[in-house]
A and B are shown apart, each in its own frame.
Chain A
Amino acid sequence: MGPFAEASNIPLTTRDAVARMPGVAEAGAINFQNIEAAHAGASLRLYVIGYEPEHPGGPQRIAEGRGIGTSHFELVADRKTGLLTGETIRLGRNRFVVVGLVEGAMNAGGDPAVYVTLSDAMALQTELDPAAQRVQAARGVVSVKSASVAAVIARMAPGADVDLLAATVRQWKHLAALTQAEQEEILLSSVVDLARRQIGLFLGILLSVSAVVIALIIYTMTMEKLKQIATLKLIGAPDRTIVALIVQQALILGASGWGIGLVLILTVKDYFPRRVVLEPFNAMVLAGIIFAVCIAASGLGVRAAMKVDPATALGS
């Protein structure tokens, strides 16, 4: 399933083997782990990525500060961690200095990423191993996973055949090779799928509740206007004028709701625990749904309005 969707363990030596393959420009080993670290009095969930500096697999674009320069105890953090360059944070037994910041680096669960060197990450992994394993290690039993990593990332030489290479790697029995596109597909269909379905369910419930609320508001607004509607009927307004009035009101309500909602989402989405990507298309679909809900909800108000007796305008 690939290293991002499930745990994986391959020997570090695989990296050299991959790097030697035809068409591969360079290769780098990476591993990752979720850890809980204390920072500024709060506990911070981090997705620690270990990579080999000068090899692929490191941070894409440094937004602030610099990349990792020395081999030990430096890290590059995603902005969402709240860490600032120059700060230090304790991971395992050692303090790490934040030397750079990146944006948009996180795992599928939304935990922000920090990058450290592969050797630091491997040390960290051993320190955080269960006590029993540490006892074994102290007795001199060689840890099985001492030199294993989660994945090897290869960058292709220009013009090289990715699929051919992937097929070659797959022939090495226990190794899987995934292209960038395949990797994304797996994340979407397996890792994010459950979250997507949960959010879809919430969305469905919220929309149904909103529809009921909108219908009630329009109905109430119509009830408040019965005298006006009676007056309009009395002075000769046809039904279509009255229906237009109610529907227009419903649409104004819906449009302002949509506008306020959109502004609200755009202002708070960056503080949301998960990364939220709002595409213009989604906003348009939402507008369409709201439009349909408003029209349907107006039906209730229109029914009430049609029953109004014009004589009620003349009270005496």
Chain B
Amino acid sequence: MTDGEILIDVKGVAKHFGDGETRVDALRDVDLQVRAGEVIALLGPSGSGKTTLLNVIGCILAPSAGKVTLDGETVFDGQWLRRDLRRLRLDKIGFIFQTHNLLPFLTAEENVAVVLDLAGWSVEKGRARAGDLLGYLEVDHRAAAKPALLSGGEAQRVAIARALANRPRIILADEPTAALDGKRAGLVMDLLRKLAVEQEACIVTVTHDEKIFDRFDRLVHLRDGRLADA
């Protein structure tokens, strides 16, 4: 699993909040590489910097120092190298949330298609791809349902379909199984692994869920903002 292309390359990244007495060092000199096909977990006690690292990789938060390269493109090197960070996220990154965060006024299929619409796809092509993805995730029978009518597992699969819609090669997940029972959590992890292999993508997951630790290729531990090898 370590012979794929490097999709995430974080070098010497530091992030601190505040200054002087209130200064908090959330990340200190973090180096991390994730390759295509890899599914890794970010672990660590509360306040250790997991969310901060995920936000830095997700181009939501600017590091205080360091360099971030995503899918071959250096996006941060002391400063953002792209002006339109939302477009960057749309093109390169898929997000999966703790709760599904689907838009309640759209159907399952529309929730997936909306990403393609944003990416400039035509309506028909967008709908077709959304339908295909829902089929791939085995929720196509719920395509016309509003999120409120979906079960937890169905909603999470629709959310995964949305994350995959624009074919990003980096998928960031924040406690994707926290809202699911053990069996469903296992199914979602199997699915993510299958995606990583088939779509040549990498998946970085923040999790506390010990039941699924054995599903990861690597566990990355954070302690006080530093990587601590397990």
A contact set with B: CB distance below 8 Å: 227-228, 231-238, 241, 310-311, 313-316
Contact = CB atoms under 8 A, between A and B. Distances in A.
B97 interface: yes
Interface string B79-118: 0000000111111000101110101100000000001001
A231 B98 CA distance: 12
Contacts of B95: 234-235, 313-314
Interface size class of B (residues with CB under 8 A): 20 to 34
Contacts of B144: none
B15 interface: no
A313 B115 contact: no
Q: Is the interface of A mostly helix, strand, loop or mixed?
A: helix
A211 to B, nearest CB: 25
Interface in B165-188: 174-175
Contacts of B61: 311
Given A313-B101, A316-B175, 10 more contacts: A235-B89, A235-B90, A236-B90, A236-B91, A236-B115, A310-B86, A314-B60, A314-B98, A314-B174, A315-B98
Residue of A232, A234, A313, A315 with highest tally of chain B CB at under 10 A: A234
Nearest to A233: B86
A282 to B, nearest CB: 33
Contact of B101 (A231, A237, A241, A311): A231
Interface string B191-230: 0000000000000001000000000000000000000000
A83 B139 CA distance: 68
B227 to A, nearest CB: 18
A232 B95 CA distance: 11
Contacts of A316: 50-51, 54, 98, 174-175, 206
A233 B59 CA distance: 12
Nearest to A230: B101
Interface of B: 50-51, 54-55, 58, 60-61, 86-91, 95, 97-99, 101, 103-104, 115, 118-119, 162, 174-175, 206
21 contacts: A228-B101, A228-B103, A231-B101, A233-B86, A234-B60, A234-B95, A235-B90, A235-B162, A236-B86, A236-B90, A237-B118, A241-B118, A310-B60, A310-B86, A313-B95, A313-B101, A314-B58, A314-B95, A315-B98, A316-B51, A316-B174
Nearest to B42: A316
Residue of B60, B104, B174 with highest tally of chain A CB at under 10 A: B60
A310 B60 CA distance: 7
A236 to B, nearest CB: 3
Nearest to A231: B101
A314 B90 contact: no
Contacts of B55: 311, 314
Contacts of B97: 231, 313-315
Nearest to B104: A228
Nearest to B94: A235
Contacts of B50: 316
A60 to B, nearest CB: 55
Contacts of A231: 97, 101, 103
B98 A236 contact: no
